Amino acid sequence: MNIFPIIRFVIRGESMAPYFPNGKRVLVNRLSYFFRKPKRGDVVIVRDPRDKRRELLKRIVAVSSEKVGETVLRKDEYFIRGDNESSSTDSRVFGPVTKNLIVGKATFPPEADQPQAGTP
């Protein structure tokens, strides 16, 4: 069991390309949603509802109480999609995910080869 609030995640696949390409590392803040709810546009790591050992990187496109097609999302339900929809298995396939499947919010770490602000 990992006890650290910030973990690294390596992207596998092209479902979030081009912004989150295969092999890229992201940081995942597992405490992001302890004090606030996920919101539309957040990029998250979620446990695959079909295989909870597998984790997916996806974007939240609809939140609780919003309508997706003919379905209104229930409390703590989220509709997630990959940015590269032609290569993504997401809520269009397995339906909405519940908040308890969201591992945390993903962000890119600062790149070691990029200059930091204020440096030449």
Angle at 89 between CA 83 and CA 91, to 5 degrees: 85
Residues 6+ apart with CB under 8 A from 37: 63, 64, 99
What the block records as the tokens of 12 is 């596998």
Is 99 tagged catalytic? no
Is 58 tagged catalytic? yes
Q: Which of 24, 37, 39, 58 is catalytic?
A: 58
The residues that are catalytic are: 15, 58
